[in-house]
Structures are given as C-alpha cells and as structure tokens.
C-alpha cells in the first residue's frame, strides 16, 4: 500500500500498526525541494523529513521510490536526494528497514504537463505512440556523472536499490529456486536488503553494475524522438489500354 508523507506522523503509524500493517510504500520521487516542486507532489522536503523520522521510531519496513531525471534534475538535486537517504533512511543501529528504490528516467504520459514539456524539448513528437514506453531524461544531467553518483552511494549503503542499473538476474533465479523449498516471508523486497548487506560488506557490489547504461539510455531517447516520415499516398491503379478494352467488352 502506498502512503503519502504529507500527514504521516507517529499517531497514524500507531493506528496502522494496530490495524495490522507490517510494511508500506512511499513515492516521493525526489528529496530535493526543487524537484518536489517540479513534480507537483503537493508536499515538501520538511514533510518528507518528518515522515522519515516518525517511521524510524516504529521500525516499519518501508519501500521508498525515487525517480532521477525529471525536468530540472541536475547533479545537485540528485545529490540532495542521496543526502536525504543517507541522513534519514539509513539506520544508525540495527538492521536496515528502509529500501530506497531509485529509477533513472521518468515515464511520459499523454495529457500531463510532462507530455507538454517533452513535446517542447523534442523527446517526443505529435505522432508518438503513448502505448509504448516513452521516457524523459533531463538534459541537464551528465549521465556518466549521474551513474558514478548512484553507484558510489549504492556501494556504501545496502538501503539503495538501482533497479535495471544493476545485474541481479542470476541472484533472482537462485532465490526463485530456494523460495520454492523455503518460502520467504513477505514483503519480498525486504530480502533484497539482506542481499545488499552481504555484497556491500564483501565489497563486491560494484561487480553487479550493468554495463553501458548511459549509452543505452541516450540511444533509446534518440530513437523515440524520431518523427516518422508521412507515408506516401498510394496512387490509384490506372488500367492500361488492354484492361480498359477488356472492361469495355464486358
């Protein structure tokens, strides 16, 4: 279940625990005041801080979702998000409970402000098919620098997950086999924290970095921005004299 941080406090968390909640999700998308405004989230950084502090008092397992690359995203705004994760989502003592799931790129949907911005900036065109994945990625980001920021943080903190920016398919298959014999308790994402703890402690998390992410992203965005040529009108078939004469005989 997703919960807004706007009015999340100790009283609400207490009621949630009494109601049987064992975990939940929060999708702030960013922890930069600039980006929260750009995303029109309806809450600010102070709301996020207050919510995180309340959550940490209850040790609730919480899955946080962050998006990197929306309009106005820069190296600085990304760093603000990473600093928030470091300060508020990393527990000083005991096992980790928060998982910050970070995605690079923002999906573009028709009828939204982001669709209008993407049209103006050339990420999409008037013939773009909204049924296929279309992505926005701030041109103010240096993707190589962005990847270094993200990987550097992930190699230090098991609380950070980088989605498709890491190679976990072999691990997923192994856990899939184990889970059939020894079912894991829910929520399943919490077990990713345990995996992260191991590979961070061993100092091998960098081995799971997916190769060529910046190049693939640039190519995808470049291809989706191409406007297809208008199809040539098919000229009507003009019968030759022989066909005309045959038709005339009929």
Domain parsing of the chain, residue ranges: 10-229
Going by the DSSP 8-state scheme, the letter that residue 65 receives in this structure is: E
Residue 245 has pLDDT above 90, yes or no: no
Q: Mind listing the pLDDT tens digit for each residue in 200-227?
A: 999 999 988 888 999 999 999 999 998 7
Return d(Cα 30, Cα 68) in angstroms, integer: 7
Say if residues 113 and 47 touch (Cβ distance below 8 Å): no
Determine the pLDDT at residue 71: 97
Average confidence score pLDDT of the chain: 86
Q: State the pTM of this model.
A: 0.85
Determine the pLDDT at residue 243: 40
Q: Which of 194, 232, 168 is nearest to 61 (CA)?
A: 194
Going by the DSSP 8-state scheme, the letter that residue 106 receives in this structure is: E
Residue 248 has pLDDT above 50, yes or no: no
Return the CATH fold of 10-229.
Transcription Regulator spoIIAA (3.30.750)
Handedness of CA 103, 16, 51, 86 (dihedral sign): negative
Q: Mind listing the pLDDT tens digit for each residue in 90-136?
A: 988 777 789 999 999 999 999 999 999 999 999 999 999 999 999 99
Determine the pLDDT at residue 241: 39
Q: Which of 5, 100, 85, 107 is nearest to 51 (CA)?
A: 5
Q: Which of 103, 95, 110 is nearest to 192 (CA)?
A: 95
Going by the DSSP 8-state scheme, the letter that residue 88 receives in this structure is: I
Residue percentage of the chain with pLDDT more than 70: 85
Residue 54, CB-side half-sphere exposure with 13 Å CA sphere: 19
Return d(Cα 157, Cα 139) in angstroms, integer: 27
Alpha helices in the chain (DSSP H): 10-19, 33-38, 45-58, 75-84, 113-121, 143-156, 169-181, 190-202, 213-224, 241-249
Return d(Cα 172, Cα 152) in angstroms, integer: 23
Determine the pLDDT at residue 228: 67
């Amino acid at each position: 279940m997703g919960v807004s941080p706007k009015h999340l406090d100790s009283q609400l968390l207490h009621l949630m625990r009494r109601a049987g909640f064992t975990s939940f999700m929060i999708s702030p998308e960013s922890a930069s005041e600039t980006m929260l405004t750009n995303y029109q989230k309806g809450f600010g950084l102070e709301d996020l801080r207050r919510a995180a502090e309340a959550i940490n008092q209850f040790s609730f397992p919480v899955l946080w979702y962050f998006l990197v690359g929306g309009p106005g995203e820069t190296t600085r705004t990304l760093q603000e998000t990473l600093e928030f994760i470091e300060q508020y989502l990393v527990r000083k003592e005991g096992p980790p409970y928060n998982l910050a799931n970070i995605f690079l790129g923002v999906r573009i949907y028709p009828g939204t402000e982001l669709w209008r911005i993407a049209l103006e900036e050339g990420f999409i065109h008037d013939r773009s098919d909204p049924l296929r994945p279309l992505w926005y990625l701030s041109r103010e980001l240096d993707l190589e620098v962005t990847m270094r920021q993200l990987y550097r943080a992930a190699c230090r903190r098991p609380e950070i997950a980088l989605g498709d920016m890491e190679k976990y398919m072999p691990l997923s298959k192994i856990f899939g086999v184990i889970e059939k014999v020894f079912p894991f308790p829910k929520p399943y994402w919490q077990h990713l924290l345990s995996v992260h703890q191991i590979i961070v402690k061993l100092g091998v998390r960098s081995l799971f970095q997916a190769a060529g992410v910046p190049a693939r992203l640039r190519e995808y965005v470049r291809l989706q921005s191409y406007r297809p040529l208008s199809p040539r009108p098919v000229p009507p078939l003009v019968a030759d004299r022989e066909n005309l004469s045959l038709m005339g005989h009929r």
